[in-house]
Amino acid sequence: MKKTMLVLAMGGLLMFTSCSSDESTKSSSLDGNSKVEMNTNPIMDTTEFKDFENLYNQFTSGEIEMGEYLKGTESVDIAMKFLEKLGETTYGGYTYGPDIVSFALVQYFIVISN
């Protein structure tokens, strides 16, 4: 019985935190009372975004292999420039090329989902 209650409590906590963090990624607080939707159009118009999107499209279409996509010098450079444009100058704390490209891909999906 205690395990069941613990699992239910943890599930409820997980759902609560995921729902509350979802709202924080979709909007930013101006003064605590009003909310404004995050506008990603300026980001999507940048050369860095378009370069990363092109790189991702080349990977998904099979023009480049996964190893080249994750470890290639050009891929890592494009990912780093894209992250810098987003203000992620520490690259999410990652230092290894494939991790930086993967983090940039997550950020790319966040931008296009808004």
SS (H, E, C) 59-77: HHCCCCCHHHHHHCHHHHH
Tens of pLDDT, residue by residue over 54-93, are 999 999 999 999 999 999 999 999 999 999 999 999 999 9
Q: Are residues 103 and 68 in the same domain?
A: yes
DSSP state of 113: H
| Domain assignment of residue 35, yes or no | no
Q: Are 14 and 57 in the same domain?
A: no
Indicate the length of the chain as a whole number: 114
pTM to 2 decimal places: 0.65
Taking the alpha carbons at both ends of the chain, their separation in whole angstroms is 42
Are residue 52 and residue 81 in the same domain, yes or no? Answer: yes
Query: Same structural domain for residues 50 and 10?
Result: no
pLDDT of residue 41: 77
State whether 85 and 50 are in the same domain: yes
Which residue reads 């609560």 in tokens? 16
Q: Which domain holds residue 56?
A: 41-113
The arithmetic mean of pLDDT across residues 37-58, rounded, is 86
69 and 16 within one domain: no
Task: Pull the structure tokens for residue 54.
Answer: 């092109």
